Structure 1
Amino acid sequence: MTGRAGGRRLAASVCCVALVALAASDCAASGGAPAHSAAVPSASDGEPGQWITYNGGNERQGTATSETAASSTPSPSPSSPLAIAWHAKLDGAVYGQPLLVGDRILAATENDSVYALDESDGRVLWHTRIGSPQPLSGLPCGDIDPLGITSTMAYDPATGSLFTLAETDGGQHTLVAIDPSTGGVRWRRSVEPPSGVPMDTQQRAALTVAFGRVYVPFGGLDGDCGKYIGSVVGTPASGQGAQVHYAVPTSLRGAIWAPGGLLTVGGTLYAAAGNGASTTGFDGSDSVIALGPDLARLGFFAPATWAQDNADDLDLGSMTPALVGDRILALGKRGTAYLLAADRLGGVGGQIAQSRVCPAFGAAAVRGSTAYVACPDGIRAIDTAGDRISVSWRSAARANGSPTLSGGDVWAVAWPAGTLYRFAASTGAVTGLIALGTVPHFASATLADGRAFVGTINGVTAIDR
């Protein structure tokens, strides 16, 4: 990749986007969902070159939008070097993808801090402390210490606000709207799961801004301890007005925890839930769930193996559902990939196709009919053309972080060691790599302006690519 766009300024004003919600139908009992055609613009549709939510936009495609994304684009030669442009040391681990808004990199830490960094050199432009994070010693289980801001933030062009969800000492969850120009806090609001015990709940999945709301998914702590129930809470982006809620109809667990958060297509939000409590009667867990803007369930899909998946902790919800054409690709810990009709998920056993692929985590990157997914032993390219599922290639390098795309390249981080790999999108061959130092679980690269930006255990690193 040569050259970088320069000198963007954060827009002083934005146009409000008209939002159109599709009407809910009566097909939920059979696993249906409202039909969608062209995607309805949402408040998180970014401008070219920007990265304003997880994987760039609400359809979670994971592509650098300012760059030509033709499959015929040649990859750099294997000798083409990657170089560290800068590293910004912050006050904690950065678990979420950094965002690019204007000419600022926005990042949040587990110390409940939000930073704006100069994209060109990593200088701190402002730093806002939200509160004191929750120590691991005060939690029933978990693997993050302290536990502060874990999910990827979201920027909303319609309101000009940056949204983040912070856990603070005492197990409280607070949604905060920030002015990205100054770091000033515009408003704070408590956002707690509608079911279960807040202290037993972790908020890892990315935030989503759509339909005039900020959607916050909830799951559990590492170890599945305590009493939590997977859920989503929608709060008006203005900070004022009633919240809407959805809870997985299980008596326990059913986490919505995949780092990619919710997939948004047309007037529908798609979530993937993990294992629940029941092994006798279907309880809504281990499923892909279609939700309307008000978080009413419109439909669902669950594998015929849901009971065993529940019993064996084989979360279907370990990867955010991926939009491939007009199909949904679902893939979880069991390692079986399911291809679903987006407008009618099909209920239990209602998939169009299925195939053994690999256990998958995080989120996929998508181009055309191909989804690139992160498995424990490396990246897989999954072809879904013709409503069939086949693996085109498997990377030799064990990059296990969620992939992203630019031009003819796939980018993925190996965690926790922290090596960033560049693969040829057509073959999976390694065309470049660089050591970053220790990175958090599920680290994933933000791609914009000819650079990759990766959260590390102590800040953000920018790589010239």
Structure 2
Amino acid sequence: MALCVLLLALLVACGGNPASGVATPTASSISLSTPTTGVTATVPTATGGGTDWTTYHRDNTRSGYIAGVPDPTRLVSLWTTHLDGAVYAEPLVVHGRVIVATEGDSLYALDLNKGGVIWHTNVGTPVPLATLPCGNIDPLGITGTPVYDPATNLIFAVAEVSGPRHLLVGVDADSGALKFSRSIDPPGADPRVHQQRAALALANGRIYVAYGGLYGDCGDYRGRVVAVPTTNPQAPMLTFTVPTPREGGIWAPAGPAVDDAGDLYVSVGNGAVTSGAWDHSDSVLRLSPTLQLEDGFAPTQWASDNAADLDLSSLGPVLLPNGLLFIAGKSGIAYLLRASALGGVGGQLQEQQLCDAYGGAARVDNVIYIPCSLGVLQVTIASGPRLIRGWQAPANINGSPIVGGNTVYVVDRTGALYALNRQTGAVRARLAIEPTSRFATPTLVGRTLLIGTMSGVVAAEIA
């Protein structure tokens, strides 16, 4: 055993390849049945300083914004690390290490400065697409962005493993040791047709996990949110199910947004009902900390939206100052709501034709940067309240943005990272990177940007 640990430590030390800039991942893994201490290393210093990034878009409102970051004149490639699968989840930064989840059902900690593997924990065997009734990720492993809990020092993630089934795992952030795992499939749900794409949320001493369906909407699935306490994750789950006969997935990659009171806001997809009483699909719903349905909103045309697959679930809800909430979806119509009184069917404060949006938006005060399919769009919430359309990026620059200082960072998934002037949309800098998934979104710590790709992670520096 001591010899194995020594060999693993040597692999970590030699993980980077200075000539190619590509780090080779270690082969270490941790058994589900027997949690084992992982390989540890000295925590590296973050490039340019800065704080950690422990959840999707950095905070529970999913703002994706850090003030005081210098604006770039250029972007410089730092390193590229290839891992055991595609990275759909947003990379996190915990204790100065990059935490990455892959479709290979692995969690990694990487050196922020060089990309070398510090520890690697595999939690199961991912599910081949050929064994599923539909979908578009092959294989299917960890898709939703994990979350870090400082109280327990655990990184929580949901992995789809062979069976299939969904496992909630807790991994020690420092060592990679697997501290626990449990089934997190909601009662009565068919794991084959439920996909966990939404980012996990940490609030109220609980981990919240949302479910939608596979690409193609096959099978008997319904949108659900489940929750377990962080201090006793083996406790019985709290569960909310969208009250529709079928579909109504909660799948936006941003996951639930959480307000100061601990209430959750989720966007819900098209449901099976296309006439009669509203089934709470094509909606924004507010859930209590214990997952009781408190309130909801749906467009007046929710039934026809359902019939045409033009629902609101493609974008995560955006919480705004002054108690407002913004949502847009596949129909191209954006809605401004009052978070404390969502208004039911047709209860919006304002609506405007803006764009069809997919992924997670970024927000700075009352200005939103929306991942429109035809290019990131700036929208200002003015008094009234009113939606005021601003600049729009070219159609290829349509990933889920974040903001650092006065710069918007966004990915063109065919292989480029852009830095855009926050006020004008003008391109400050561009860097070629490896191809990414449709919903890839950068992470920013200090002067370092991190992006998950279809084969691992790339890092760039603001210069």
Distance of 1:396 and 1:438 partners within structure 2 = 18
Q: Retained in 2: the 8 A contact 1:195–1:229?
A: no
Tell me which of 42, 45, 56 is aligned to 1:7.
Answer: 45
Letter in 1 for 2:348: Q
Tell me which of 59, 67, 74 is aligned to 1:81.
Answer: 74
Partner of 1:375: helix, strand, or coil?
Answer: coil
Residue 305 of structure 2 is aligned to residue 313 of structure 1: no
Could you say which residue in structure 2 is the equivalent of 1:432? 429
Could you say which residue in structure 1 is the equivalent of 2:16? none
Shift of 1:450: 0.5
1:389-428 equivalences under 5 Å are 389-396=387-394, 398-415=396-413, 417-428=414-425
What TM-score, normalized by structure 1, do the two folds share?
A: 0.87
Shift of 1:414: 1.1
Tell me which of 266, 269, 273 is aligned to 1:271.
Answer: 266
Q: Retained in 1: the 8 A contact 2:269–2:282?
A: yes
Cα deviations by residue, 1:161-191 (Å, 9 ceiling, x for unpaired): 1001000012200000000100001111110
Tell me which of 422, 443, 458 is aligned to 1:461.
Answer: 458
Higher relative contact order (CA 8 A, sep 6+): 1
Could you say which residue in structure 1 is the equivalent of 2:219? 226
Q: Retained in 1: the 8 A contact 2:284–2:296?
A: yes
Could you say which residue in structure 1 is the equivalent of 2:13? none
Tell me which of 108, 116, 121 is aligned to 1:115.
Answer: 108
Partner of 1:170: helix, strand, or coil?
Answer: coil
Distance of 1:397 and 1:85 partners within structure 2 = 27
Could you say which residue in structure 2 is the equivalent of 1:242? 236
Shift of 1:401: 1.0
Distance of 1:193 and 1:226 partners within structure 2 = 16
Tell me which of 239, 249, 253 is aligned to 1:255.
Answer: 249
Could you say which residue in structure 1 is the equivalent of 2:20? none
What TM-score, normalized by structure 2, do the two folds share?
A: 0.87
Residue 295 of structure 2 is aligned to residue 302 of structure 1: no
Q: Retained in 2: the 8 A contact 1:194–1:231?
A: no
Distance of 1:296 and 1:48 partners within structure 2 = 37
Count of residues in Structure 1 that have an aligned counterpart in Structure 2: 413
Shift of 1:48: 6.3
Letter in 1 for 2:57: N
Tell me which of 161, 173, 187 is aligned to 2:180.
Answer: 187
Judged with a 3 Å threshold, the aligned counterparts in structure 2 of structure 1 residues 294 and 139 are, in CA distance, closer, same or farther, namely same
Shift of 1:383: 0.8
Structure 1 residue ranges without an equivalent (≥5): 1-5, 9-46
Letter in 1 for 2:405: G
Could you say which residue in structure 2 is the equivalent of 1:283? 279
Cα deviations by residue, 1:141-170 (Å, 9 ceiling, x for unpaired): 000000000010100112111001000012
Distance of 1:296 and 1:194 partners within structure 2 = 16
**Shift >6 Å, 4+ stretches:** none
1:21-40 equivalences under 5 Å are none
Tell me which of 50, 53, 57 is aligned to 1:51.
Answer: 53
Shift of 1:397: 5.3
Cα deviations by residue, 1:374-420 (Å, 9 ceiling, x for unpaired): 111110001112110121111135212100000000011111x1211
Q: How large is the RMSD of aligned CA atoms in angstroms?
A: 1.5
Residue 168 of structure 2 is aligned to residue 178 of structure 1: no
Q: Retained in 1: the 8 A contact 2:50–2:446?
A: no
Percentage of matched positions with identical amino acids: 44
Cα deviations by residue, 1:418-456 (Å, 9 ceiling, x for unpaired): 211110000111111111111112111001120110000
Structure 2 residue ranges without an equivalent (≥5): 1-43
Cα deviations by residue, 1:237-293 (Å, 9 ceiling, x for unpaired): 122322100000000000000000000002210000000000112111000000011
Letter in 1 for 2:107: V
Could you say which residue in structure 2 is the equivalent of 1:34? none
Partner of 1:362: helix, strand, or coil?
Answer: coil
Could you say which residue in structure 2 is the equivalent of 1:154? 147
1:435-450 equivalences under 5 Å are 435-450=432-447
Distance of 1:130 and 1:240 partners within structure 2 = 17
Letter in 1 for 2:451: V
Q: Retained in 1: the 8 A contact 2:45–2:112?
A: no
Distance of 2:441 and 2:178 partners within structure 1 = 27
Partner of 1:426: helix, strand, or coil?
Answer: coil
Letter in 2 for 1:313: D
